[in-house]
Structure 1
């Protein structure tokens, strides 16, 4: 595990992505201490433009946009990581079980996986959220988690079917080891790269989906998150009156956090698949080739 961590940090994309994600996590944890104003307090004029006192301007209600963005980071990240964890656990459990046991178990679980993949996720989540009513962050995380595990289960099942025929798995079965021990100590350690890839992608998907659902008015408008900020900015016609900063702040936060997770995802992909690694020529070799080319040009 330590070797994998060091390998990730040695990758430039992973290091930059991890720094961005770590910054957002620190902001979320220290939100009450970092936010300059109370998010429910009117501290400025309606739609006040960005200034030295209010770096990201103010909303129509005169609330500080920077403070709301900081507190919104806390809510959005909680939903993203909670839903991402649920998606990963369900997908891994179903995929490993189907791939290892096979037979009727595989057929039944594969049927549910195919149903989950066929039904469009976003329309299904919108229908569920509309049926429940104004949903809080944890309910949104639950809806995302219970409807978005199909892709992870399919990929995990495929890799498990490949590992199922390896010699060390067959040897463990011949020695009479129970299935739970083989899955826990033989299969799962060899699925860490896929599980990590699934978790990172699920967190990114969950954050964006949560913002989409709340932007459409299906979340709790009293809870501050990046999605509800976009919803309030749209409902108060912020762009029409020129208050672009109300939309720009949560959008910028979504783009930066998504970029950090995407960089980590790309790095994991490169490490897991060496063919995706870019060819890097060492500086000394590049300098030698340049000098040689220039010398040949001078002789000519």
Structure 2
């Protein structure tokens, strides 16, 4: 009888304080890596993103010329010396394209990171604290969800035109955090009365510690999904603002390339790749984030996993 009573004590995984939470988090990260390797879509996304990362890091070695040089022929077509042609100012398009990847990836990282951080902290805090704090934070979130994001972004950017990259990132985060906060709040409400949170309350843990070290590690899939979505939105928003002249158009970026190409009628001037190449790179970068997100969706939602993989799991079981 003693041996029978030992089985139910060892088998459950219900205790979830810091130690088991850390092991579970490592298991989730391992599952994410496995999902990326096994998903053809995710692999394609990783390869595309890797190419852009190599371009950004190795720009001085990859770019054939200085992107600011104006010593070449004006509006020349593709050739052996200039693979993508030149601009109407005599600059090499390929060099500008390579250097422009730096700002786009930096914007994706900053906007994705800050927007996810604000959304996660506000959404989880509203659900965990409850009462008046939940009502106030939910009201603020609803207000930002009702206000159209794009017009608000354009209005704010028009007043702070030329404020620099970090100012632009701050404006985008300010106008895009609400949707993610609503998702985190809904997820945190489902965990509000779980045993590991009750144990944290009994131990007298601070609210900030419980949110950061107990609740957020259980939302790895949602954190990654929000980061990828915010990163794509940030790249598109900055490129769009620069295209219409509200962003920093003096820097070398894909959005500023499209702005100057459109202003100089690149399609009619004989240098269409000056306008088309950065637009294609923006689309490919956004597609890479979307494809990578498929792998994380499979981990967070088992219903999205391929049927063949589910049969294998049942056969092994």
1:81-113 Cα offsets, whole Å, 9 max, x none, are: 111111111101101110100110001111111
Specify the alignment match of 1:297 in structure 2. Answer: none
Pairwise CA RMSD = 1.7
Specify the alignment match of 1:7 in structure 2. Answer: 34
Instruction: Establish whether residue 131 from structure 1 lines up as the match of residue 165 from structure 2.
Output: no
Summarize the alignment of residues 150-169 of structure 1 with structure 2, pairs less than 5 Å apart.
150-169=178-197
Partner Cα distance (2:71, 2:304) in 1: 51
| 94-103 vs 182-191, which moves further | 182-191
Compute the TM-score of the two structures, normalised by the length of structure 2.
0.84
Specify the alignment match of 1:119 in structure 2. Answer: 147
Summarize the alignment of residues 102-117 of structure 1 with structure 2, pairs less than 5 Å apart.
102-117=130-145
Contact persistence 1:80–1:141 (CA under 8 A) = no
Compute the TM-score of the two structures, normalised by the length of structure 1.
0.89
Specify the alignment match of 2:110 in structure 1. Answer: 82
User: Post-superposition, which runs of at least 4 consecutive aligned residues in structure 1 deviate over 4 A?
Assistant: none
Contact persistence 2:124–2:185 (CA under 8 A) = yes
Partner Cα distance (2:263, 2:271) in 1: 12
Contact persistence 1:85–1:199 (CA under 8 A) = yes
Partner Cα distance (1:111, 1:277) in 2: 36
| 39-48 vs 219-228, which moves further | 39-48
1:180 shift after superposition: 2.9
Specify the alignment match of 1:244 in structure 2. Answer: 272
Match of 2:218 among 181, 185, 190: 190
Contact persistence 1:86–1:146 (CA under 8 A) = no
Contact persistence 1:16–1:260 (CA under 8 A) = yes
Size of the aligned set, in residue pairs, is: 282
Specify the alignment match of 2:91 in structure 1. Answer: 63
Match of 2:248 among 220, 228, 244: 220
Specify the alignment match of 2:202 in structure 1. Answer: 174
1:247 shift after superposition: 1.2
Partner Cα distance (1:89, 1:34) in 2: 34
